[in-house]
Structure formats: structure tokens, C-alpha cells
Structure 1
Amino acid sequence: MTDKLDLAYMPAATQLRLYRSKQLSPVEVLEAQLARADEVEPKINAFAWKFYDEARKAARGAEARYMSGEARPLEGVTLAVKDDTDLEGKATASGSKLFLDYVARTSHPMVQRFLDAGAIVHAKTTVPEFCICTVTTSHHWGTTRNPWNLEYGPGGSSGGSGAALAAGTTTLATGSDSGGSIRIPAGVNGVCGFKAPYGRFPTVVPWTLSPQSVYGPMARSMTDLATMYDLGNGPASYDHTALQKNTLPDPMRTVAGMRIAYSPDLGFAHVDPEVRANTERALKHFEALGAHVEEVAVNWTDEKVQEAFHGTLLTGSWRAFFDQIQEMISDPKEVSDQYHSLYQKMLSLPKNAAETAAMLVAEMNTEIHAIFSAGFDAIVSPTTGLPSIPAATNHATDSVTINNMTVDSMTGWCLAHPFNLLYLYPIVVAQTGRAANNVPTSIQIIGDRYDDNTVFALASAYERVVEPLYKDGAFPDFRSEI
């Protein structure tokens, strides 16, 4: 690996240590990542908007702050912001041509906290239109691809953030998660992501009315993810849903003696043998750390999960958003097939869909609550049933096959979305290796309600003993180049 790649993939924790000792400049790392982006962006297409000149100026300013002893906690570290998240003075298109002219007046509060800590935003990352896909493709931005194998997608909807982290074109990134949109891209790109419990990170109207939809951090290491967590969470005067600040303990709790409940499929999912094998190998690392792993049954069904998911999201804030989009459309071709498909599904829901969904969610929560009440500290399952799906998958027309079973191409290969319905449970995604197609696989570590500290402790301890993806030249090789 060349020196420039060393810099491009260097963790924020290492950067900050070298910046403070004046052995490295933020200018050097930024230039290495921009050079990396020039090389790989034509292949992966992870950046929607680029702010390179502004970033270079900010990097020089960060260098000066280090020289004068005035550096802030994230001074000079690059941050890519998902393009559904406001950045003051920049467009927030959410992957749609309809919003290309929308310019944010203020930055999203989580982003603002990272900026106030000295982070440098050099790009906004691609998303599928309206962030409603588990691949990242849109009429305006085209298709984003997985750096580990370009034939496959980077997940969605934070696919651009996941791909940029995997490709070494940013150090940190932001995501949002309404149905797995942080966890799926983190998992299939081999990076870390945190699905926060509702209220952990402040948010903005109308998403304060949608507890299923949360914002959160993504990074290549748990140390960096924990830093973003500590800086980004906490109350805000304008958000009545924001929780009091939680700071992760240092050192984190030991995992020896913890009890982990392992569900291979959460009862409803089809899981590829490679994914299951990698998951079970990961569990052995937890056992080596002194944790106790026990397989448990979760009796969810696909029918129950789908009815609960659509009956919840398509009758709440998404319903109002979709109605707004309908009024903006002048030509049906302006928006994706997936949007039209979901809109029709929304219109076809029975009048009692929300009430039925609420009852199903209560039943689902009863099962999960019983597991924690039995003394388990966390639940582990695969994040996805497949390593990934083809990059240009059209959810409205294409299906996906797992173990010779045809499943829905949007949610049928994922195990993440039920926990947007059970939105008080914190979840960290950790990598478990790679499949034969070179695409990473992962687990989601699910903690009890608001027990963020436990999932960070488990994921951090696991990361210290597992073979890392980003080390000694083990980086995406852009195989199957197209």
C-alpha cells in the first residue's frame, strides 16, 4: 500500500494524535483522500456534491489551529455528509431532481456539532431517491457501487457514505436510518455504523414526529464511531425529543460474563450459508472474550414484519411526505419506479393499517423484551441475509433469491428494518469477514432499550480481536470493474 493510501485510510484517532504532535498536517490527509476520490469516484460514484476548494481552505485553517494550540476535538478530520441531511448553504436533494434547487439555511444539528468540533466537509454522499431503497441509484446521480465488488450495491440509503468510507475517500461520514439505512450500508461495505435509539441525536421537523427515523454516525473503526457518538448526541433547545447527553465510559465495560442471545434469522429472514457461517465464526470471538452465547428463537414471520413495517411507516410522516411529492410531480418519469410502487402500496393499505401495525409491533416488542428480561445483555443477528444485491436492482420490478427462495428485493434480504419499529433499541454494526464475491458480511449487535454503552463495549472488544478488513493492503480491489 502506498503512502497516500496509508493517509487516505488512516483512522481519525491516529490523525488527531499525529496532528497534535505536529507530525502530520490535515492538508496532507485531505489531499490524499481527494486524490483517491479522483481515482475511484468514476467507478463507485459515492459523491453527489463536492466542496474541494472550500475543504482545502478549511484544512489550511486547521493546520494553523494546530500550530497555535487552538485545535478542537475533530480539527481537520474529513466528514462526508449524506445528501438527505442539511448542510448550510448547500443543496439537499435527497437523490431527487425535484429537490435540486433546495438550499439549506442551516446545518442539521448533528452535522453542526461535528463542524463545531472542527470537522471538514468535503462532499455530500449519494442516496437513492427519497432514501427509500436498499440500493443507491437515482435518475439524477445514477448508480453507486460497492468498492469491494462493483457489480454489487453499497446498500441504501446511506450507500454513498458507506462506499466512500470503504473506498478511502473520507475519514468519517453521516447516515440516517428509517429501515436499515445506516446498518445495511455499514454492513455491506465493511464499516461501522450506529442506529441510535430515538432521541439520542437531535433532529429536525418533521422527523421529530417519526421515531422510526434517526440520524447517526458511520466510520471505519469503533474508536472513531465512539468519538462521533460522544460529540453528536445530547439535548437541543429546538428538539423536544432529544435525550440528555450520554458519554461512553473510558475504558468501556468488560464483556467477560456478558450473555449474548444469537438469532440466526430473527424468525422471518432467509440467510445465505456464507453469511450464517461468518456470523457464527464472529460469535466464537465473543466467546473467546469471555461472553456466553446462546441461540434463541424469535418467532417473527415475514408477513407480520412486512405488515407492521408498511402499516407504520406508510401511514405516518411518510404519508404526508409522499402526498407532498405527488403535488410536485409534473411528469411521472421525474421520479423512480420504486417511489410509484410504494405510493400505490400506501394507497392500497386498509383503513385500519396503522392500528393493526401497532398491535403487531407490540407483539414483536414483547418477544424482544422477554429476551432481555431473561438476563441477556445483547442480541446478535446478521445485518443482511446476503452479502449484497446487484447495484442497479430495481425494487419495483426485480426480485432476489436466497437459498432458492424468491424474496422482495427491497427488504427481503435484510434483517435491519424491524428494529426501526422497535426504535428504542440501540444497534451497532460490525464486520464478520467477506463472502466469496469479496463483499463484506456483518452482524448487528442489539442492546436493550437505551443501553448504548453495552453495544459499544461489545463491538469495540470484538473489533480488537477480529481480523480487520482495513489493514496491510486488505482494501477494496475494485474487482469486476465495469
Structure 2
Amino acid sequence: MLDRSDPLVQVAPFATDLLAAFRTREVSPVEALNGTLARIEACESTLQAMVTVSDEKASWQAREAERVWQSGEAGPLTGVPISIKDTFDIAGLPTTRGSRVFGRTPALEDSGAIRRLLAAGAVIVGKTNTAEFGQSATSENVLGPVTRNPWHTDTTPGGSSGGAAVSVAAGYVPLALGADGGGSIRIPAAMTGTFGFKPTYGLCPDEGGFRGMSDFCCPGPLSNSVADARLFLSVLAERKDLMRTDIAPQRIGFCLRPDGLPVHPEMCDAVSRVASLLADLGHKVEDVALDLTGWNDAFGPLVLAEERRERGHLLEYCRDDLTEYEVASLIAAEQLTPVGVKKARSKHDDYRVKIADLFERHDALLLPATASPAFPIGDRPSAIDGQRVGRLWGPFPFTSPFNVAGTPAAAIPCGLVDGLPVSAQLVAPCGHDAKLLDIAESLEEALDFRAGLPVRKLC
């Protein structure tokens, strides 16, 4: 766990606290950036979260933020250091997308999400590691050393936004931009004890951005608090109606093992405590048997069809530079037919209706974010709670259904299992992002996850 008394930790863990310190002149944006860069220098050789550290560009942005604060014209994120998943284009910086194939040429322009963050005054300290083309729920690739979980450096931080999650969990930055196409924000958030939010599909556009899992993928925040994620999301979505409100009691459907799939028993205990807390907060929590089956009938073919369309040529020209999982995806994509893809489109529509029907009876859903805590790097569990599970989705079967459904979903840390964080997942109907944030923020206060945690140095 991050030692906040460590003199290297100069950045407030919460963006809202940092903004308050800027406002009172207690801390300057330049000082905050210097703390971030010192923390990265001290820990990065171990954690390997960053692909690029743009210290010169960030220094200019921090000096400009200082000037803006002095002028009294600060934006919602002015001076806050943030990191960016390396699937987003930033003008003047290379974009690897987690692949050896790319990253040699700087991008010519910022993608839409980056433009909004810069306009809000954020200081971009660099780009974080990701699975190749976002095609894995962990963050291994062939670019270089593997990204490690700061809670236990032999374990994975999850993926594909693994570097983004580590940059927050390790105290580099209070906010990180990730992207979630099948759980790629919520999975690493769950495995690193951070808060991760996947918005309603389409709420946060990324004009001119990366094409991968495009039918399901959303930019979104990783943070140490719901309030910070709310602030970040309001910038990404250009919405002013996401502020916290007092929420009326909600009907919450609670399921520990959707589709009867195995979940680590101690994780079940942690998520059950969340259900009890929600009931204590006045919500009506009802046990339900969630049927989430059918999502992969749409997800698998449509993801592979796009991989074939966007990157199929790489098999012929640079196969040896690709990861095994990307090669496997591209080979599988060659077996698709137009009829199969058309059928998957239809099943996508059907699945959205199926999940929408759940919210006729419930205002929100509560279930585990993953089926297991973080596991050793490169060693996905073959069994959970004594039951065999598939290698591809076994540890994380509960996130992709809500990408296919397009609904907002959040991973909120709720306990420790064998010294590693675990999270509950909250889900709301499409368009109810603000309500979901309200539930999560009140729950966060009740959980008080970080209070009393053991403190140890990361580096």
C-alpha cells in the first residue's frame, strides 16, 4: 500500500484536494508536477506503468496552469497531473497502442478526449502501458518490461488499462484516462484498489481516436475517489449535470454468482458486505439470479471483425512483432463470414434489450467486478473456488456483458483478499451515469476503504 508519509509522495491522492490547494496557493501546479515526476522516477523501474513520460511538455503545461490560476480563469482540471492510456493520440507524442508495430512516429493531432482534457487545463505527464491494441484483460505485451501491480509486484494489475490503473494506485497521478471495451477500466481498477468508471456507450466521444472494440468501447476515468471520477467524466462528456445530488432509495438487484459462475469465496464475503451497507443506506436490496448469457454472441464476432478490418494485414507483414494473443485474434477473424457478422449485429441489438429489461424491475445491479483477485503475472487461474474456468474470461466474466449492453458500470474497492484489493461492480441503465455515481459515492463513504489499511513503501 502506498505510504503517503513518504517524502517522495508530493501529489495529493485526490484531484479535488489538489485543486483546493491550488486555489489557496498552498501548492502550485509546478510543485505538483515535480512531485509526480519524482514519484515516477523512484518507482517506475519496478512498476513499468509508463510508456512515455513527457516531462518537457508537461512542464510547459504546469507553468501555463500556474499563470491561469493567478489570472483567476482556472478550468475544472487546471494544473492537475493526469496520465493517458497509450491508445489515445496526443499531438507530438508517439502512440504505441501497446504494440511494437507502432509508436515510431508522433501523432499529428490530439484525439477528441485529449482535446477536452487539455481545454480543461489538465497537465498530461505521459502515456501508460496497455495490452496490444487493447485485446487482453491483462497488460502484457512485447514492448518491454511487464507492468506490475503496486500491491504485490509479482501480480498483474489487470488490463487493458493496466498502466493507467497503476499510475493512480502508485501515487503518480490522482487521475488517469483509460478505455473500456470489455472491462478494460473496471478490471484493472478492481485489481489495484482504484475506482474505475465505464460510462454509457457514446457519452464520452473520442473523435479521430483509435479503432478497436468500437461497438463497445468508452473512454473513462480511473481515480482514488468517486468525486474525482465525476469531475473527470464531466470534462470528457462536456456535461454540467453530473454533480452529486441526494439520491432516493433505489431498488438494487444483488447477485454474487451471475450465470452460476464461480467466484472466490472471500470476494463473495466482501461484495455481500457491500449489499448490507447499501441496505443500511436505505436502498431496497433484493437477491436475484442474473442471467447475463449471450453477450459473447455479439462481442466476439464484432470485435474480431474490426480487428480483421483494421489490422488483418499485420499477419502478413509483421506477424513476428505481434503478441500471441493478437495473432490468435487475427487468425480467428479469418474464419468470420459476412452472414456471421450480420447475425452478431442482430444479437447485439437483442442483448441490449435483454439487459434493459432487467432495469424494469431494478434501478441498479450489484455484483462482483471480477471473479478473483489479482493473480501472478502470466499465470491466469485455471480454477476458481474449486471449479474449472476458461483461460480467456474465467477470472473476469462479469464486465463485458455491460459493454455489449452499453450501460454505465463502476468498480468500487470494497476489501482485501490475501492482501490484494477486490471490488464490487455497480451497474445502472443507459443514461443514468449521474445516478450510478451518486450510489457509488455514498457507498464509498460508508465503506471507507482506505481507512486503516496497512502502510508499506512501494519503492
TM-score, normalised via structure 1 length: 0.88
Seen in structure 2, the aligned counterparts of structure 1 residues 202 and 361 have a Cα distance that, compared at 3 Å, is: closer
The 8 Å contact of residues 98 and 328 in structure 1, kept in 2 or not, is answered as no
1:231-264 Cα shifts (integer Å, max 9, x gaps)? 1114xxxxxxxxxx46214x4132x421111122
CA distance in 2, matches of 1:356, 1:280: 38
1:387 aligns with 2:373: yes
CA distance in 2, matches of 1:127, 1:208: 13
Q: How does 1:439-458 map to 2 (within 5 A)?
A: 439-458=420-439
1:325 aligns with 2:314: yes
CA distance in 2, matches of 1:306, 1:402: 21
1:313 aligns with 2:313: no
Question: Secondary structure of the residue that 1:148 maps to in structure 2?
Answer: coil
Question: Secondary structure of the residue that 1:373 maps to in structure 2?
Answer: coil
Question: Secondary structure of the residue that 2:187 maps to in structure 1?
Answer: helix
Aligned length: 454
Shift of 1:218: 1.6
CA distance in 2, matches of 1:2, 1:170: 16
Amino acid at match of 2:308: R
Q: How does 1:13-412 map to 2 (within 5 A)?
A: 13-205=16-208, 207=211, 210-234=214-238, 245=239, 247-249=241-243, 251-254=244-247, 256-267=248-259, 269-301=261-293, 304-315=294-305, 317-329=306-318, 332-349=319-336, 352-358=339-345, 360-362=347-349, 364-374=351-361, 376-393=362-379, 400-412=382-394
CA distance in 1, matches of 2:8, 2:413: 21
CA distance in 2, matches of 1:300, 1:17: 43
Q: Structure 2 unaligned runs (5+)?
A: none
Shift of 1:369: 2.4
The 8 Å contact of residues 219 and 225 in structure 1, kept in 2 or not, is answered as yes
Amino acid at match of 1:389: F
Question: Secondary structure of the residue that 2:445 maps to in structure 1?
Answer: helix
CA distance in 1, matches of 2:164, 2:366: 24
The 8 Å contact of residues 253 and 454 in structure 1, kept in 2 or not, is answered as no
CA distance in 2, matches of 1:246, 1:22: 26
Shift of 1:462: 0.8
CA distance in 2, matches of 1:107, 1:79: 15
Seen in structure 2, the aligned counterparts of structure 1 residues 409 and 213 have a Cα distance that, compared at 3 Å, is: same
Seen in structure 2, the aligned counterparts of structure 1 residues 181 and 208 have a Cα distance that, compared at 3 Å, is: closer
TM-score, normalised via structure 2 length: 0.92
What percent identity do the matched residue pairs reach? 28
Q: Structure 1 unaligned runs (5+)?
A: 235-244
Shift of 1:140: 1.1
Q: How does 1:457-476 map to 2 (within 5 A)?
A: 457-469=438-450, 474=454
CA distance in 2, matches of 1:99, 1:444: 34
CA distance in 2, matches of 1:311, 1:65: 48
1:71-127 Cα shifts (integer Å, max 9, x gaps)? 222111001010000111110110111102232111121121111111111110001
Shift of 1:327: 4.7
Question: Secondary structure of the residue that 2:215 maps to in structure 1?
Answer: coil
Question: Secondary structure of the residue that 1:420 maps to in structure 2?
Answer: helix
